[in-house]
């Protein structure tokens, strides 16, 4: 048995190997530097994190807290504004923005007044830049947080894509994770209303791997999707790395769930590739905002603002203040002080693979650019193994996960990311 095969076998049933990278925060200890992440790339995207929610779902791995009173919300936005201005004044050589996502938490959980301030901040910031042709900003919310006022502000500021969480239509499962459900008729009415306000694309998030989900609940989700007919669907497998919990659902059950969602979504007319977690009615958009699309396809640079936001440039990765903390303070004068890692090419390549895994494939030429050498030579043994075992197949410049490979996607993708001992 080759060394690569031995490692793959060892990782087969280890749930730590998924799309999270690095596996342990301490893995990058030796690359940590004091100071800011250098940003020299001429094109990047922005991400603004709003860490507030009306309810705190217990499956959620994002940095968030219950929405505070309006004065505290304003304080958060004020600090965000200062951080964004400081970044722009230092990096005015960034000529182009390829994306701008506002996520969380639940940005739409802000009060109407503070939400207006957020949309003004978005519009003002975006105006400072040249925008790429496929620039498609996006904002996250829940069905409960959508209001007419917020939709008007969203459309007025130039955002035409909204992403809402459905997670599962199984009320008992949702409630067991402390999340309230919304009646299907209400969701349908809201979606019609969102469209009538000028929003062009609605994405719905679904999750699998949740405790209590069954074949029946998956079929119920799929009939809900057929009824609501969102433009895009994002399918998330429950990740528990950050929650410090062990997953209770087996890899085989997760594979079965994904396959069932995949087959039916394709039947419903959505475009995707087996192993990809985004689905779209439009072939060209890959089922996500331009911020995620560029990141998945080519590991493009992005700058995150706000608590715990992550940034990546061609030099490394940084995390803003608040990472791994659910008890953060809103009294900080800046969220920019966090952890910065200057990474060597092999670690940047690993990060690219872990992001690209969301679309089930990665580009060999982009990997070569990041590594600074021929990826086919660098990963000669890994590529030979995954192709011989039909875990991946080569389509043009891309290595794409196969059905068999996706069953063990963590072990398979990690051959190219987590170092072989």
Interface residue list for ligand SF4 (CB under 6 A) = 53, 55-57, 60, 62, 64, 104-106, 142, 165
Considering CB under 6 A, how many residues would be counted as binding ligand SAM?
Answer: 18
The residue number with the shortest CB distance to ligand SAM is 165
Reduced to 3 states (helix: H, G, I; strand: E, B; else coil), residue 309 is coil
Q: How far apart are CA 408 and CA 74, in angstroms?
A: 45
Reduced to 3 states (helix: H, G, I; strand: E, B; else coil), residue 225 is helix
Q: Note whether 207 binds ligand SAM by CB under 6 A.
A: yes
The contact mask relative to ligand SAM for 242-281 (x = CB under 6 A, - = no) is ----------------------------------------
Phi and psi, residue 346, nearest 5°: -65, -30
Contact of residue 341 among ligand SAM, ligand SF4, none (CB under 5-8 Å per partner type): none
Q: Note whether 238 binds ligand SAM by CB under 6 A.
A: yes
Q: How far is the CB of 169 from ligand SF4 (least distance, A)?
A: 15
Q: How far is the CB of 161 from ligand SF4 (least distance, A)?
A: 17
Q: Give the footprint of ligand SAM on residues 65-124 (CB under 6 A).
A: 103-104, 106
Give, in degrees to the nearest 5, the angle at Cα 340 between 84 and 63: 65
Nearer to ligand SF4, 158 or 212 (CB): 212
Tokens of 12: 């087969």
Q: Give the footprint of ligand SAM on residues 142-161 (CB under 6 A).
A: 142
SS3 content of the chain, % helix, strand, coil (to 5): 40, 20, 40
Contact of residue 43 among ligand SAM, ligand SF4, none (CB under 5-8 Å per partner type): none
DSSP class per residue in 63-103? --EE---HHHHHHHHHHHHHHHHHHHHH-TT--EEEEEEEE
Q: How far apart are CA 345 and CA 11, in angstroms?
A: 24
Q: Give the footprint of ligand SAM on residues 28-67 (CB under 6 A).
A: 53, 59-62
30's CB contacts (< 8 A; 6+ apart) are none
The contact mask relative to ligand SAM for 161-190 (x = CB under 6 A, - = no) is ---xx-x-----------------------
Contact of residue 230 among ligand SAM, ligand SF4, none (CB under 5-8 Å per partner type): none
Cis peptide before 329 (omega within 30 of 0): no
Contact of residue 110 among ligand SF4, ligand SAM, none (CB under 5-8 Å per partner type): none
Nearer to ligand SAM, 171 or 389 (CB): 171
Q: How far apart are CA 376 and CA 24, in angstroms?
A: 27
DSSP class per residue in 326-387? SS--S--S-S--SEEEE--HHHHHHHHHHHHGGGTEEEHHHHHHHHTS-HHHHTHHHHHHHH
Nearer to ligand SF4, 103 or 338 (CB): 103
Q: Are 64 and 109 in contact (CB under 8 A)?
A: no
Contact of residue 56 among ligand SF4, ligand SAM, none (CB under 5-8 Å per partner type): ligand SF4
Q: How far apart are CA 409 and CA 407, in angstroms?
A: 6
Q: Note whether 239 binds ligand SAM by CB under 6 A.
A: yes
The residues that touch ligand SAM, with contacts defined as CB under 6 A, are: 53, 59-62, 103-104, 106, 140, 142, 164-165, 167, 205, 207, 236, 238-239
């Amino acid at each position: 048995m080759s060394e690569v095969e031995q490692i793959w076998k060892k990782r087969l049933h280890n749930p730590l190997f998924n799309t999270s990278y690095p596996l342990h925060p301490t893995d990058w200890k030796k690359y940590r530097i004091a100071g800011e992440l250098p940003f020299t790339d001429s094109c990047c995207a922005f991400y603004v994190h709003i860490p507030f929610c009306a309810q705190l779902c217990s499956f959620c791995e994002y940095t968030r807290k219950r929405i505070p009173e309006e004065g505290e919300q304003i304080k958060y936005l004020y600090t965000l504004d200062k951080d964004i201005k400081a970044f722009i004044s230092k990096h005015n050589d960034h000529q182009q923005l390829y994306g701008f996502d506002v996520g969380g938490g639940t940005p739409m959980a802000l009060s109407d007044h503070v939400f207006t301030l957020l949309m003004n901040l978005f519009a003002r910031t975006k105006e400072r830049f040249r925008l790429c042709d496929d620039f498609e900003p996006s904002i996250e919310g829940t069905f409960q947080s959508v209001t007419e006022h917020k939709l008007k502000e969203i459309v007025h500021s130039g955002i035409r894509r909204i992403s809402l969480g459905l997670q599962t239509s199984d009320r008992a499962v949702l409630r067991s994770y402390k999340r309230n459900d919304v009646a299907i008729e209400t969701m349908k009415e809201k979606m019609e209303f969102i469209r009538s306000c000028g929003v062009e694309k609605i994405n719905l998030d679904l999750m699998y791997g949740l405790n209590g989900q069954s074949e029946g609940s998956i079929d119920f989700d799929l009939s809900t999707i057929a009824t609501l007919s969102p433009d895009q669907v994002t399918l998330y497998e429950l990740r528990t790395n950050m929650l410090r919990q062990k997953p209770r659902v087996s890899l085989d059950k997760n594979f079965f769930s994904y396959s069932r969602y995949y087959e039916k979504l394709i039947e419903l007319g959505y475009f995707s590739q087996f192993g990809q977690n985004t689905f779209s009615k439009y072939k060209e958009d890959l089922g996500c905002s331009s911020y995620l699309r560029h990141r998945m396809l080519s590991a493009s640079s992005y700058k995150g603002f706000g608590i715990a936001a992550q940034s990546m440039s061609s030099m490394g990765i940084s995390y803003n203040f608040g990472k791994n903390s659910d008890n953060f303070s809103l009294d900080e004068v800046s969220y920019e002080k966090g952890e910065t890692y200057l990474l060597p090419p092999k670690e940047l390549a690993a990060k690219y693979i872990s992001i690209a895994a969301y679309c089930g494939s990665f580009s060999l030429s982009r990997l070569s650019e990041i590594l600074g050498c021929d990826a086919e030579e660098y990963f000669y043994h890994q590529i030979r193994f995954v192709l011989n075992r039909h875990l991946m197949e080569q389509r043009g410049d891309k290595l794409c996960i196969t059905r068999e490979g996706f069953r063990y996607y963590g072990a398979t993708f990690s051959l190219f990311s987590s170092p072989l001992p």
